[in-house]
């Protein structure tokens, strides 16, 4: 196995003898000058078939956060039988990075689905709570308890969400419709290969895995109003998505779900593209 690019001192981009690209973890494997041949015994963990959008994402994530995400997923692998999507490591690292950023900026959001998730996914919630302890121990940041549920959701998605599942109410045509709606409403061209787009689409899938009786949280009302005021174009776009859901998929969206869609759209677009 050859190391071709350092990600951090303990993580590197590699190529094996079959030409497959691998993200490998191991103590000090990113420390040496690249390229060089890596002894397989020095690899503690390796992720094959990593989507290109995640490779690009690695440059923007703290090395410490990446290692924390890797350790959390290792815990999940030891405690769950059907964790199949290993790209969840990178999505989780991105989420933790974003959660810490929100914490530093004083933005607090509560999920209205916490109780439902706790009832249905006890083992995943336990891993989420352990993750908060790991983050606090290593980074000195105590994230809100609700983030345990967010982390659990990433793990749940890695277990159960299959975009190729033809029985899922959200199919390829639905995704194309919503993408076209966003592009027309915000007057932008979306990079379909970007990680932010993938994250947005995954969130669309998640909306259809939730409990239908979820209601909005009063704690998020102020944030919702602020986002609506600061990003009127994004709000208008999400209203169109809400109408699409109602008309074509017989599914309504509460304000909290609209809030999360707005946050995803803001990240999907450049600020200059969506500010009036």
Burial of 17 (0-12, 13-18, 19+ CB in 10 A): exposed
Closest alpha carbon to 212 in 181, 245, 240, 173: 245
pLDDT at 272: 38
Give CA–CA dist 198/192, Å, rounded.
8
Those residues whose C-beta lies under 8 Å from the C-beta of residue 268, and which sit 6 or more positions away, are 182, 190, 194, 196, 197, 199, 200
Pair 111, 149: CB distance under 8 Å: yes
Q: How far is CA 257 from the centre of its chain?
A: 15
Give CA–CA dist 112/253, Å, rounded.
12
Write down the pTM of the prediction. 0.56
Give CA–CA dist 235/111, Å, rounded.
19
pLDDT at 81: 72
Pair 183, 190: CB distance under 8 Å: yes
Both structure tokens of 86 = 């290993």
Q: What is the pLDDT of residues 105-123, one digit of tens each?
A: 887 776 655 555 665 578 8
Q: What percent of the chain has pLDDT over 70?
A: 80
Q: Report residue 166's pLDDT band, with 50, 70 and 90 as the boundaries.
A: very low
Q: What is the pLDDT of residues 218-241, one digit of tens each?
A: 767 888 898 899 999 999 999 999
229-241 exposure pattern, b = at least 16 Cβ within 10 A, e = fewer: eebebbbebbeeb
Q: What is the pLDDT of residues 171-216, one digit of tens each?
A: 788 889 999 999 999 999 888 877 678 778 777 876 665 545 555 6
- The mean predicted confidence, pLDDT, of the chain is 81
pLDDT at 134: 97
pLDDT at 274: 45
Q: What is the pLDDT of residues 247-274, one digit of tens each?
A: 988 888 888 888 878 888 888 876 435 4
Domains in the chain: ranges and CATH:
1-49 (2.30.24.10), 51-160 (1.10.1790.10), 172-274 (1.10.1790.10)
C-alpha angle with apex 82: 117 to 25, nearest 5 degrees? 100
């Amino acid at each position: 196995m050859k190391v071709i690019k350092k990600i951090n001192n303990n993580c590197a981009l590699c190529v094996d003898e079959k030409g497959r690209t691998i993200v490998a973890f191991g103590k000090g494997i990113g420390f040496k000058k690249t390229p060089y041949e890596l002894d397989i015994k020095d690899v503690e963990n390796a992720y094959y078939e990593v989507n290109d959008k995640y490779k690009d994402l690695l440059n923007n994530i703290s090395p410490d956060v990446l290692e924390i995400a890797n350790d959390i997923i290792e815990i999940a692998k030891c405690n769950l039988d059907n964790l199949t999507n290993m790209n969840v490591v990178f999505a989780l690292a991105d989420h933790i990075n974003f959660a810490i950023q929100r914490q530093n900026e004083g933005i607090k959001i509560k999920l209205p689905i916490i109780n439902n998730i706790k009832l249905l996914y006890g083992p995943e919630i336990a891993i989420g709570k352990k993750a908060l302890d790991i983050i606090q121990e290593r980074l000195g940041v105590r994230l809100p308890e609700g983030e345990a549920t967010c982390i659990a959701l990433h793990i749940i998605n890695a277990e159960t969400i299959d975009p190729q599942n033809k029985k899922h109410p959200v199919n390829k045509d639905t995704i194309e419709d919503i993408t076209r709606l966003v592009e027309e409403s915000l007057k932008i061209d979306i990079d379909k290969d970007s990680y932010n787009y993938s994250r947005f689409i995954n969130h669309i899938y998640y909306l259809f895995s939730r409990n239908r009786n979820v209601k909005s949280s009063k704690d998020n009302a102020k944030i919702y109003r602020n986002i609506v005021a600061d990003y009127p174009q994004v709000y208008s776009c999400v209203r169109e998505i809400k109408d699409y859901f109602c008309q074509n998929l017989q599914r309504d969206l509460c304000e909290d779900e609209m809030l999360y869609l707005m946050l995803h759209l803001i990240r999907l677009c450049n600020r200059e593209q969506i500010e009036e």
